C-alpha cells in the first residue's frame, strides 16, 4: 500500500520487501473478492456472512504500516541535518498523493457507472458526487450521515473505502516528522511498549465489537481511536526494528516470507471460546511477532527477485485503485444473488486481472511520470 522511499542511491534498497508489498497487495484484492460474497449474503440475508478464504487478509494493512515505519525511519533518520520537515512532507506527498487522486477519480467514475446510488438505493445528485471527489482529493473524510457520505455505510472515503488507511498513514508521517524522529532508541522502546499494551487491550478485548481488528474505516469514536492505535503500534514498531536492525542469514527469503504471508492471511476466523477472544490473540501474535519476523527476513536479504520490480511498482497503485471496481462487483453479486466463487469465478478473475493490469498501466504511464515532474518543482 504505502510506497517505500527511493530517495537515495547510496543506501541499500530492500528488493525483497518491495516484492512482499506486492504479494500482500494482491492478497488484499483476493480478500476483497471473498468479502464481496460475505457482503452480498448479509445484504440479501442469505447466509452467515463469514469470509471463508483469505479470512485474515485485512491484516495486510497492519503489515503495510509495519513496513512503512521501518523504511521511513531507514530512509530519513540519519538525514535530518540535510532536510527540513517541509521537505519531508513534500517527498511524502509526491510519493503518495498522485495515485491517491487517481484512486478518487476512479472511485467517482465507478460510482457514476454503478448508478450514483447508496447501498439502499437512494439516488445521489451529480454535484454531491463531484464535491465528494474534490474533498477526497484533499483527504477530507466524510463523517457518518454527512452530506458527502454518499455511499451510505459510514466509510471515511465513500468513493474509495481503503483510503482510510492512507488517512492514518498521513497522520503517522506527520507525527514522525514532528515528534517520533526525535526519540532515541530507549524512549522509542518505551513508546512502543505503551502502544503494544493499548493495542493488545483493544484487539484481544474486542473493544470494537467487530470480533476483528478491522477498524479505522469510519469516523465514530471507536474507529478513530482504534484506527490511530492500529496504525501507530506497527508503524512505531517498524521504526524500532529499524533502529535495532541486525541482518540474519536465511535461505530463500522471498519464497519463505511469501508463503508465511499467504498462510497467515488464509487462517479462518477463530471463534471465541468461553469469552476468550482467540481471533484477537491471533491478530496480536501476527502483528507483534510474525510480521516483524517476516520484515527482518526480507530486510536481511540481498536477494533481487526478478519479479520484485514489477511487484513493487504494482503494490500501491493496486491497493489504491482496486476497491472502486470491487463496488461494482459487489453490486453485481447482490443483484444476481451470487454468494460463492464457484458460480462467479470468471467475473471474479476478470476483476482481479483488470485491477492488476490497470494498476501496472497507471504506475508506468501516470504515477512515475508525474512524480518525476513534481520532483523538479
Q: In the 8-state DSSP scheme, what is residue 155?
A: B
- CA neighbor of 25 nearest in space, from 301, 363, 290: 363
pLDDT of residue 377: 84
pLDDT of residue 7: 42
85 vs 92: CA distance, rounded Å? 11
Strand partners, 155: 218
Q: Which residues lie closer than 8 Å to 324 by C-beta, 6 or more apart?
A: 103, 106, 107, 109, 110, 111, 159, 160
- CA neighbor of 18 nearest in space, from 1, 34, 35: 1
pLDDT of residue 303: 81
pLDDT of residue 3: 55
Query: Would the CA dihedral through 332, 323, 60, 136 be positive or negative?
Result: negative
pLDDT of residue 1: 56
302 vs 371: CA distance, rounded Å? 27
Query: Would the CA dihedral through 284, 286, 287, 293 be positive or negative?
Result: positive
pLDDT of residue 221: 80
Model pLDDT for residues 217-263, shown as the tens digit of each residue: 999 888 999 999 999 999 999 999 999 999 899 999 999 999 999 99
SS3 166: helix
- The gap from C-alpha 15 to its chain's centroid, in whole angstroms, comes to 19
Task: Give the N- to C-terminal CA distance of the chain in Å, as an integer.
Answer: 25
Contacts 24+ apart (CB under 8 A), 94-97: 94/371, 94/374, 94/375, 95/3, 95/5, 95/371, 96/2, 96/3, 96/166, 96/169, 96/170, 96/316
pLDDT of residue 8: 44
21 vs 106: CA distance, rounded Å? 22
100 vs 320: CA distance, rounded Å? 7
Is the separation of the CB atoms in 207 and 201 below 8 Å?
yes
Write down the pTM of the prediction.
Answer: 0.95
pLDDT of residue 6: 46
In the chain, where are the structural domains located? Answer: 15-375
Angle between helices 291-300 and 221-244 (to 10 degrees): 40
Q: Which residues lie closer than 8 Å to 344 by C-beta, 6 or more apart?
A: 37, 333, 338
Is the separation of the CB atoms in 21 and 308 below 8 Å?
no
- Residues in the chain with pLDDT values less than 50: 4-9
Amino acid at each position: 500500500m504505502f510506497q517505500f522511499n527511493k530517495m537515495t542511491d547510496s543506501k541499500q534498497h530492500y528488493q525483497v520487501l518491495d516484492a512482499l508489498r506486492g504479494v500482500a497487495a494482491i492478497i488484499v484484492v483476493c480478500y476483497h473478492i471473498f468479502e464481496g460474497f460475505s457482503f452480498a449474503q448479509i445484504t440479501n440475508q442469505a447466509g452467515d456472512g463469514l469470509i471463508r478464504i483469505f479470512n485474515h487478509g485485512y491484516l495486510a494493512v497492519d503489515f503495510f504500516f509495519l513496513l512503512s515505519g521501518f523504511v521511513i525511519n531507514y530512509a530519513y533518520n540519519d538525514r535530518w541535518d540535510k532536510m527540513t520537515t517541509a521537505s519531508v512532507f513534500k517527498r511524502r506527498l509526491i510519493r503518495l498523493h498522485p495515485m491517491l487522486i487517481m484512486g478518487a477519480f476512479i472511485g467517482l467514475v465507478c460510482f457514476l457507472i454503478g448508478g450514483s446510488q447508496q447501498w439502499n438505493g437512494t439516488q445521489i445528485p451529480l454535484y454531491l458526487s463531484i464535491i465528494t471527489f474534490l474533498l477526497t482529493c484533499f483527504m477530507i473524510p466524510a463523517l457518518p450521515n454527512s452530506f458527502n457520505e454518499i455511499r451510505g455505510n459510514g466509510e471515511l472515503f465513500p468513493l474509495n473505502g481503503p483510503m482510510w488507511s492512507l488517512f492514518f498513514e498521513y497522520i503517522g508521517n506527520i507525527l514522525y516528522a514532528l515528534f517520533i524522529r526525535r526519540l532515541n532508541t530507549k524512549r522509542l522502546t518505551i513508546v512502543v511498549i505503551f502502544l503494544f499494551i493499548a493495542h493488545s487491550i483493544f484487539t484481544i478485548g474486542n473493544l470494537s465489537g467487530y470480533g476483528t481488528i478491522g477498524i479505522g474505516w469510519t469516523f465514530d469514536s471507536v474507529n478513530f481511536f482504534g484506527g490511530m492505535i492500529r496504525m501507530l503500534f506497527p508503524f512505531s514498531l517498524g521504526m524500532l526494528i529499524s533502529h535495532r536492525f541486525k541482518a540474519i542469514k536465511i535461505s530463500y527469503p522471498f519464497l519463505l516470507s511469501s508463503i508465511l504471508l499467504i498462510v497467515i492471511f488464509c487462517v479462518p476466523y477463530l471463534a471465541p471460546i468461553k469469552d476468550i477472544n482467540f481471533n484477537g490473540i491471533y491478530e496480536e501474535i501476527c502483528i507483534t511477532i510474525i510480521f516483524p519476523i517476516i520484515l527482518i527476513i526480507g530486510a536481511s536479504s540481498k536477494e533481487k527477485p526478478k519479479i520484485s520490480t514489477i511487484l513493487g511498482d504494482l503494490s500501491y497503485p493496486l491497493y489504491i485503485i482496486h476497491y472502486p471496481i470491487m463496488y461494482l462487483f459487489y453490486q453485481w453479486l447482490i443483484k444476481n444473488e451470487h454468494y460463492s466463487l464457484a458460480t462467479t469465478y470468471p467475473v471474479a478473475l476478470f476483476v482481479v486481472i483488470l485491477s492488476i493490469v490497470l494498476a501496472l498501466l497507471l504506475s508506468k504511464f501516470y504515477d512515475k511520470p508525474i512524480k518525476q515532474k513534481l520532483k523538479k518543482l
